[in-house]
Amino acid sequence: MMLKEALSAADCVALQLENDVERYAELGRKLRTTTFNTALTVARGSSDHAANYCAYLIMARMGRIVASLPMSLVTLYKSPLVTRDTLTIAISQSGQSPDVVEPIRYFRDGGATTIALVNDIDSPLAAAAEWAMPLRAGKEQSVAATKSFITSLVAGARLVAQWQNDPELTEGLAALPDALRRATEVDWSPALEVLTPARNIMVVGRGISFPIALESALKFKETSALQAEAFSGAEIKHGPMALIEDGYPLLIFATRGPTQAGLIALAAEMRTRGARVLLAAPADVAERDLTLPTAATPDLDPIVAVQAFYVMAAQLSKARGMDPDRPRHLSKVTKTN
């Protein structure tokens, strides 16, 4: 089921892009004419990784600082947060968890602009937000989110494209369904050889690829019971380096952009220290171990990169004797306060 749903992501993205066109345009106009002193994201798990990607695009393209809200400030501590002139973006597959719904309701009641990128448009989260934008991933049966994560990334990029009124990013989004289909055909079997017997792994990214490192580490834990931690390429030498020993696996996402050269250099250095490096990079990088698919523009590369990863992750789970559709101790909808 996980693999089937991951492979369906391109069709889900195409459906999303065909719908709500004027609604996104209207939201873009609203954002361009509104002054924000604060911008926040509200999300958990995979949705929080999608929020990190959206936040990165907002900061890089719109120049607004974006922070991830510790939801317990609202749900448990009842802190008197200032809501005026605030943009608050929630991302959720189910839209059910109280610790995501309550902050959106709180900020909307306080006059903030609230947006929910949510798969279940009839959910409490959709009702709580001023702007509820459906992901249109369809019902997701697998506990491990795949198509809903990819459609969350697309919705975040779509929001930014309309806010910036950027035709290049909009055109790049239109080309994503075909790029995602090509991404499912990329051969990542060398990763299976390294990771099937592994006990742990570091997943490394930086900049716009770091949210994908976070998501990949979560999926390794969730579907393969593989102890995985995500680190920025800028942080790995500050302490995590002490874990590196002969044969220690590292998956490094070197997507296009300003951070790529540093990540390629990091891969080379980690090899000299004995690490078993899996450098995922585009086809023009000779040092790569895994080929990263690319999108029409580098800012969209993480979306097709995670599509290739999901196919491998589903295969890895089975190779390790596990069922990716039934992760231990986990359920599809998690509700926390």
Residues designated as active site? 332
The closest of 298, 216, 295 to 251, measured between CA atoms, is: 216
- 67, with CB counted inside 10 A (0-12, 13-18, 19+), is exposed
Read off the tokens for 134.
């459906």
Amino acid at 206: R
DSSP assignments along 110-142, one per residue: TT-EEEEEES-TTSHHHHHSSEEEE-------S
CA-wise closest residue to 266 among 292, 216, 275, 193:
275
Residue 272: CB partners within 8 Å, gap ≥ 6?
none
User: CB 190: neighbour CB atoms within 10 A?
Assistant: 13
Q: How many residues does the chain have?
A: 337
Handedness of CA 198, 202, 205, 211 (dihedral sign): positive
Whether 316 contacts 195, CB under 8 Å? yes
Q: How far apart are CA 112 and CA 84, in angstroms?
A: 6
Other Cβ atoms closer than 10 A to 82: 11
- Contact at 8 Å (CB) between 251 and 216? yes
Please state, in angstroms and as integers, the Cα–Cα distance from residue 315 to each residue in 60, 268, 299, 324, following that order.
35, 27, 27, 9
At 278 the three-state DSSP class reads strand
